[in-house]
Amino acid sequence: MKISRIWIAFAAALFAFGCACAPAEEEAAVPIMPAIEAPVGESIIYGQSLTESALIGGMAMDPFTGESVEGFFQWVNGDFVPGVGIQMCQCEFVPTGFDTENYLSVSFRAEVEVRPIPLTVLEEPVCMRHIEYGEKIGWAFLSGGICADPSGNEVPGSWVFADGNAVPPVGRMTAAAVFVPDDSFHYDGAACAVEVECVPCTPDVAVRCSAAWPGQPLSVCVLEGWAAGMDGCVITGVFAFREGGLVPAGDGTSYDVTFSPDDSVNYLPVTVRVPVTFGVRNILVEAVLEISYGRPVSEGKLTVRAVDEDGLTVEGKLKYDERFAGLASLDGQESIGAVFVPSDPSFGGEIPVSVRVVYR
């Protein structure tokens, strides 16, 4: 039997209509990259790896809807040991749960603070010497002392006073000592309290007998001189022969002269031998030092004028006391000690002089 062409055409049309009406196959969803608000790594100390730094905060969100994306943050290389300071290290967000199919993992950099290794004071340092009133506390000099890292290893370094330029009062006190490691980049410092003793200063003195008379007791002899502390500043006080009632045995004999400071708390009395010479001509010496604040004595401009009893100029040379010649600064001091050495020995040798300080 032959099939009619009409029926064939009808069947083909019916098949085409069926295909057109069949539902289309759904396309698979493409995962997207979430928007990241980076977390911050918990601070660690130098030598620890990133695994020891917990990631704090942070958020992952759908870039279109703003909804939170389920997942967790982690360091890409947890075994990495970062250097000291604020470091930016590789981190990633990993989606979890149902969000695994809809969102991608994201890599970025997160901040972590790496602190220097803390130290523990195992043994405190001690002062090598007492200081005298007027000396800086740093001149006590620290000795000994041991600091160790968290593993108990001794760390090399040195101890200094936190305020080494302070001038303390007389007595015992505690002062802050600071340990400075040789490797101060990777190791933190340490501090402790140490005991410092400041004792009264023994002044440095220069004195001479400028007038004496045969047959007269020492008490009527004329003494001139100065006394100064550790900082070179002149100290007020009185010079007197210890045995004022004695009559000098002869020209050139020496006797004890004691300097008694007005400030007996911070300064000690000092006794020196002074020759008594009859007929010594009196000399008036005036000395002025012009200097800028903070500059050493050697950079100042010194003006000296010396005259005898008749007003005649006396030739000679002024020299600073050895203790004060190298002073690095005279800030606030009104005078310092020196001696004038006449060229003519008949004037009786060195003459004590208080040099007036003028700041410019």
Whether the per-residue pLDDT at 19 is higher than 50: the answer is no
Query: Is the model's pTM score more than 0.75?
Result: no
- On whether both 149 and 85 belong to a single domain, the answer is no
**How many other C-beta atoms lie within 10 A of the C-beta of residue 273?**
8
Q: Indicate if 62 and 104 belong to the same structural domain.
A: yes
Query: Is 100 in the same domain as 135?
Result: no
Clarify whether residues 243 and 276 are in a common domain. Answer: yes
Q: Is the pLDDT of residue 130 over 70?
A: yes
Comparing 79-83, 174-178, 285-289, the range with the smallest average pLDDT is: 285-289
pLDDT confidence tier of residue 337, bands split at 50, 70 and 90: confident
What is the C-alpha to C-alpha distance for residues 134 and 202, in angstroms, rounded to an integer? Answer: 10
Is 249 strand, coil or helix? coil
Which residues have a Cβ under 8 Å from the Cβ of 66 and sit 6 or more positions away? none
239-259: average pLDDT: 92
E strand or H helix at 325: helix 322-325
236 and 300 belong to one structural domain = yes
Q: What is the mean pLDDT of residues 140-146?
A: 95
Same domain (yes/no): 84, 164: no
| Confidence band of 128 (pLDDT split at 50, 70, 90) | very high
On whether residue 66 sits in a domain, the answer given is yes
> Of the candidates 199, 217, 240, which is a domain's last residue?
199
pLDDT at 335: 83
Both 52 and 138 in one domain: the answer is no
Looking at residue 16, its pLDDT comes to 47
The secondary structure element, H or E, covering residue 287 is: strand 283-291
Sign of the C-alpha dihedral computed for residues 102, 105, 109 and 110 taken in this order: positive
Identify whether the C-beta of residue 221 lies closer than 8 Å to the C-beta of residue 243.
no
Residue 7 lies in a domain: no
Of 87, 11, 96, residue with least CA distance to 48: 87
Residue 259 shares a structural domain with residue 282: yes
Q: What is the mean pLDDT of the chain?
A: 87
Q: Are 253 and 140 found together in one domain?
A: no
Residue 264 covered by a domain: yes
In the numeric block, which tokens belong to residue 182?
């040789």
Residue 99's domain comprises: 41-115
What gap in Å lies between CA 205 and CA 88, rounded to an integer?
65
Asked if residue 245 is part of any domain, the answer here is yes
Instruction: Give the total number of structural domains in the chain.
Output: 3
Q: What is the DSSP letter of 133?
A: T
Last residue of a domain, one of 181, 199, 217: 199
Residues 223 and 285 in one domain: yes
Flag whether 324 is in a domain: yes
**Domain edge (last residue) among 81, 115, 149:** 115
